Structure 1
Amino acid sequence: MNNNHGNIDKARPRRGLLKTLAVSSAIAGALVLGSAQAMAAQTWKIQSVWDAGTVGYDLFSEWCDGMEKKSAGELVFKCFPAKAVAADNNALFDSVRNGVLQGMNPFTLYWSGKIPASVFLSSYPAGPDQPHQWDTMFYSLGMLEKTREIYEKFGLFYVGPIQHDANIIHSKVPVKSLDDLKGLKMRVPGGMVAEVFQQFGVSTVSLPGSDIFPALEKGTIDAADYVGPAVNYELGFSQVTDYILFGPPGVMSIYQPVDLMDLTVNLRAWNQLSPELKQLVEDEVRIYSQKHYLTIQKRNIEAMEKFKADGDTVTRLSQDDLERFREAAIPIWFKWANKDEDARAIFDMQLEYMMNDTVGYIDEEDIKGMQ
């Protein structure tokens, strides 16, 4: 009996220890669960400049919806179409800076008035005109790191470029050379693009995208630049114009051939992510860039068949026209590069690249006397 009592007495501390371990395990499990829930609570509100119902927004929304699964529930992207939270581009920029939104998906060129260097973060007249050239500059030649340094001054983090498409011109009259542009009243985006076209006698007009169709329909303008064939067909341009102007074979546009978008986020929100999550977001932007670009290109091919079926005719500028256009553009490149030191730093990278023999767009004679 005494021995049994002794065994019972010895068992009691063991049972107490087991209870303690069980409680500790439960607490640890609760802490782990709470930590996971806290990580899952990181939700970013991201507004795109694409309107709801467009192919651009559908693609971006689908990508955002997939982030929660890819991050194992640690990061959620809540996507909004144009004007849903911020009413215009200025409000969008400020909303991300102030943390009302954690991110945005704009056309990078929109910020040329706020960040002069951004005019060189998307294609410009007669500059680098192939998508791979822009990926090379960003990801291999240091332009991404310099861009992030510039954006951080504004409380923003530039995650990466998103390849979109070229911008093209629709006109009521045939344009077969730069000389045919003289006297035309044409909608263009303004800035550097407008300044170069004005060198060839074009009367440039700035209009929002929603106003282009009625202006062409009424004859207020003779021609209009906008995005690529897929979107422009959806906007009804084949109903109000008869001609589409491309660059030389292989170049859809000589003035804005690689119209880049990007993902830019609030710097504080970015710094709250773990290194692993940061890497995931960066990798996913590069993957999405390719998907977005290739999907748009497929839609462009389909849209061109529709334009032709509607009676539209494609005209192309020559290689000589491209050289003339570049000659007119070069002084304007330097004018914009001299707006501030950041713009100069980005342009210097691109100038060196364009002068490299692997590209060969310009040489020392082309820029003689320019600084």
Structure 2
Amino acid sequence: MTKTLKLILCSTLLAAGTASADTVTLRIQTHQAPESASGRMVQGFVEDVETMSGGSLDIEMFYSSAVVASAEAFSAAANGILDCDMTNGSYQTGLNPAFQFVADTMGGYDTPLQYHAWLKNGGGIEAINELYEPQGMYYVGGYLGGQESLNSTRPLNGIEDLQGFKFRSPPGMESEIFAELGSTPIVMDFTEIFTALETGIIDGADASTLANNVGLGIYDIAKHTTYPGFHSMSADHLACSTSVWEGLTEQQQEIIRTAMDSMALKLMTLTLVENGEALATLPDQGVTIYDWSAEDRATFREAAIGRWDEWAKKTPETQKLVDSHKAFLNRIGLGGE
């Protein structure tokens, strides 16, 4: 081996060692299962970040709330147990009711694209970070597939079938809306849904989109579902400890933002396709599909919107987010009054 070749080899090894030493590992938890549509997108996000960063960023992703309960991931990141949280803002309504309007406006936007437009062009990201920063967290971005589908072990043909309907609900405004319509919402962790359905503790669950519900295996138990969805379009988030986020280089931060934008677009388009594919197969699995009438949808929307202003009174931060959503809905012609 020539002296020049030895020098080149040594330089390469030293560079590799330096790169390895400088690698930042981010510990992130999601409540999504890896086989679900959202879970697969999270895996793609991990790969994109690691590839685009050239190895300077490594992500250790914990699926299905493997480290702490779903509702505890946000505080676990703020306190250094994790670095980032990839669950849902609605779990944090106990900290501040304003988190509801990060996760799901319930009756607000019709499509995931409209929600993303609010984030990117309606001051949404800035408004959310005013809420997150006092908690020691930084909101990077959100991702959602589209309207979710209720699933049930009993018929859900319309508003009347909500009477006495016991179902898993995320915490927050949704529970109030359904209770007002005669249901019995039961707040429980995402991972407890199957046992609760099998044992009859609940009649159904608000879990996710039609495609995600199929991926989770919920329709093996619950043979009734609503589609197209009407009640919820929940957005998960990527939120990181502020100190962790500020410790990244600007390049690393932009790589993560870009990977989030890519993931959000991929999830929207994948959900559109997979919902259609799932819809075609469910009847053969003995699942009955309910497309609610315009009248029943209007009744639910009215009940949902009626809670907005009530929630806005809870804290100044909630009022600010409600005002932001209303202004943007008016701006894009949907009406927010």
Fold in common (TM above 0.5)? yes
| Equivalent of 2:265 in 290, 296, 303 | 290
- Tell me the TM-score normalized by structure 2: 0.86
Mapped to 2, the partners of 1:235 and 1:89 lie a distance apart of 16
| Partner SS for 1:117 | helix
Q: CA RMSD in A?
A: 2.9
1:185-217 deviation digits (Å, cap 9, x = unpaired)? 333224211211122222323343444344444
1:183 partnered with 2:171: no
1:75-132 deviation digits (Å, cap 9, x = unpaired)? 2222222344x32135422221123322121122222222322100122321222111
Residues 163-312 of structure 1 correspond to what in structure 2 (within 5 A)? 163-246=144-227, 252-256=228-232, 258-312=233-287
- Paired letter, 1:268: S
1:70 partnered with 2:52: yes
| Equivalent of 1:109 in 76, 90, 94 | 90
Partner of 1:48: 30
Which segment drifts farther, 331-340 or 51-60? 51-60
| Equivalent of 1:349 in 306, 319, 324 | 324
| Equivalent of 1:161 in 142, 145, 153 | 142
Which segment drifts farther, 147-156 or 317-326? 317-326
Mapped to 2, the partners of 1:221 and 1:182 lie a distance apart of 14
- Paired letter, 2:50: E
| Equivalent of 2:104 in 94, 98, 123 | 123
Mapped to 2, the partners of 1:90 and 1:184 lie a distance apart of 24
Gaps of 5+ in 2: 1-6
| Partner SS for 1:113 | coil
- Tell me the TM-score normalized by structure 1: 0.78
| Partner SS for 1:164 | coil
Mapped to 2, the partners of 1:188 and 1:87 lie a distance apart of 19
Partner of 1:81: 63
- Paired letter, 2:126: E
Give how far 1:282 is off.
Answer: 1.3
Rate the CA distance shift 1:122–1:33 in 2: closer, same or farther, 3 A.
same
| Partner SS for 2:145 | strand
- Paired letter, 1:121: V
Give how far 1:352 is off.
Answer: 1.8
- Paired letter, 1:59: M
Identity %: 25
1:115-160 deviation digits (Å, cap 9, x = unpaired)? 3221001223212221111111100011111112221111111111
Give how far 1:43 is off.
Answer: 2.1
- Paired letter, 1:122: A
Give how far 1:315 is off.
Answer: 1.4
Give how far 1:235 is off.
Answer: 4.0
Rate the CA distance shift 1:55–1:137 in 2: closer, same or farther, 3 A.
closer
Partner of 1:143: 124
Q: Check conservation: 1:68, 1:76, Cα contact below 8 A.
A: yes
- Paired letter, 1:179: E
| Partner SS for 1:262 | strand
- Paired letter, 2:308: W
Mapped to 2, the partners of 1:158 and 1:184 lie a distance apart of 35
Q: Check conservation: 1:126, 1:322, Cα contact below 8 A.
A: no
- Paired letter, 2:246: N
Larger radius of gyration, structure 1 or 2? Answer: 1
Give how far 1:348 is off.
Answer: 0.2
